[in-house]
Chains A and B, each alone.
Chain A
Amino acid sequence: MGKLVISNTPHIKSKSSTKRIMIDVLIALLPAFVMGIVYFGWYALLLCAISLITCILAEVVYLLIVGEKIKDIIRKFDFTSAVTGLLLGMNLPPECPWYLPIIGGIFGIVVVKMLFGGTGKNFVNPAITARIFLVLSFASFMTMWGEPSIGALFPLDSGATSGATSGATALGPILQGSSQMSNLDLFLGTGVGASAIGETCKVALILGYIYLVIRKVIDFKYPLIYVGVTGLMMVIYQGNINAFLPSILSGALIFAAIFMATDYVTTPNTTLGNIVYFALLGILTATLRHLRGTESVSFCILFMNFFVPLIDRHIVPKPFGFKKAKKEVKDGK
């Protein structure tokens, strides 16, 4: 015992600074962001903007209160709060009131991130935790599913009704095995109810994924493991091989697997640790989805975040050039 395991941001300095990584993540989020606005209209853009501005402001104001100088704050600004803000905005239901991103943003940045020491010190994902805080606080708004339509941006007839319905998401019927959605609709996100602005269009999400993999921001394996294990477990639970595609294409699974679960700070340090982490995450997500009958991805990620230190404790990286010490031959006996 007594081993000190420090599991924060990389300790080796290289060109890949936090700032560069975060800008990459922002670029990767763009396609899904644009598709979210195309499907859900200008109000979705407003929500994301509010969330983004709140998160950045919350960080700056907190640092000012703590006594940092403005010059230092600008020099050190590394876009992590911008990523948190955009992720939180894209995690909100498209029809929720405007003050939700403000409350969520302040909670996510101040309580989850800054109070624990700022970037790289938060032990859970700020955007996920902020979303869960909002789900627990405003259940009636946060379980409102928006119905996307291509005409949302420029409605042709002024009498177009907003498509917010409550309780009817694509995932519900799928979990009960009575879905009429085609896989293509799920894949493109057309006509599917969504609980988050960013989760609908899988093509856009996969574009972001490919960009992140090419830029070596995330390892290509991990989101695949998460999504694959979830799908397999759903097949096992429902006893039906056809459940695989609908269950991975619906809900926020792919969005969360690419952008939320892969957060550096809240994943283990080793490859083996990461495989264990993402596989467990998949099993947990499928199990909770099956038992609760509703989307549980965000709760699962928060829950598994708590296991990261435990995984890091038991799966310790092998130092470079380290050889297992041979057992000493005991003298005498």
Chain B
Amino acid sequence: MANKKESTLRCVLVLSVIAVVCGVLLAVLNPLLYVAPSAEDISNYFDLPVENPGEWKVVDLNSEHAGKTTDKSGAAVSLVAQMQAGEETYYGLLITTKASGNLSECKFVMFFTKSDNKLVDAKMTVDGSSGGKYTYESAAAASENVKKFEEYYVVINSATQFDTDYSIPKVGATLTLTAVDNAFKKAAYYYYNVIMGGGAQ
């Protein structure tokens, strides 16, 4: 077996050849399969069924609160837009929550009316839960039962409790439920402090 004893040089050589071949193969396939990362397009996210809708216009983000993760929850406001429909002005917020465990990044859109500071619609546009849609469905079912949830967030005013740890019965889909929770908190916080100019912490 002496002649079969592999020298270190041979090992290194074989490994590098395999690596180079694999690299070349991927390099050839790359232009065929490449997907350009889609830009945060307003029309992708903001569609609110209202009567005679106007055009969504991006509002400048207040850099202090948005764009990047600012608190430990990891939720960030990544896009804010405004729309005039008849008398009413609508605000749309795109919230991104960070990945945690086997939950990837999620995106939520939330719509507010300017006249009464009401949350009129909220939905999850990118569901990051691995395992598909049922995880989110069961999270939604669990949070449905929590009346407090709505009380805190439907109308935004100085009484809205942005950081209260109220208790959602977190049984299953815990990560997804936490992401939903964080997104709501972030949106309410941003809306109160930046759009309403509430100022108070």
Contact = CB atoms under 8 A, between A and B. Distances in A.
B147 A167 contact: yes
Interface residues of A, number: 12
A136 B167 contact: no
Contacts of B148: 167
Nearest to A171: B167
Given A139-B172, A172-B167, A293-B166, 19 more contacts: A135-B171, A136-B172, A139-B141, A139-B145, A139-B169, A139-B171, A140-B141, A140-B142, A140-B144, A140-B145, A143-B169, A144-B145, A166-B146, A167-B147, A292-B167, A292-B170, A293-B165, A293-B167, A294-B167
Size bracket of the B interface: 10 to 19
Contacts of B167: 172, 292-294
Contact of A167 (B141, B145, B170): B145
Contacts of A140: 141-142, 144-145
B146 A167 contact: yes
Contacts of A139: 141-142, 145, 169, 171-172
Interface of A: 135-136, 139-140, 143-144, 166-167, 172, 292-294
A22 B167 CA distance: 37
A289 B168 CA distance: 13
A200 to B, nearest CB: 20
A166 B171 contact: no
A294 B172 contact: no
29 contacts: A135-B171, A136-B171, A136-B172, A139-B141, A139-B142, A139-B145, A139-B169, A139-B172, A140-B141, A140-B142, A140-B144, A140-B145, A143-B145, A143-B169, A144-B145, A166-B145, A166-B146, A166-B147, A167-B145, A167-B146, A167-B147, A167-B148, A172-B167, A292-B167, A292-B170, A293-B165, A293-B167, A294-B167, A294-B169
Contacts of B171: 135-136, 139
Contacts of B142: 139-140
A292 B146 CA distance: 15
Contacts of B141: 139-140
A294 B170 CA distance: 10
Contacts of B166: 293
Contacts of A136: 171-172
A135 B171 CA distance: 8
Interface in B102-145: 141-142, 144-145
A111 to B, nearest CB: 18
Q: Lowest 7 CB-CB distances: which A-B pairs, in order?
A: A293-B167, A140-B145, A143-B169, A139-B142, A139-B171, A294-B167, A166-B145
A290 to B, nearest CB: 11
Nearest to B146: A167
B176 to A, nearest CB: 14
A172 B148 CA distance: 12
A117 B1 CA distance: 56
A135 B147 CA distance: 18
A172 B145 CA distance: 15
Which of B142, B146, B169, B172 has the most CB atoms of chain A within a 10 A radius of its CB?
B169
Contacts of B144: 140
A139 B169 CA distance: 8
B182 to A, nearest CB: 17
A292 B169 CA distance: 8
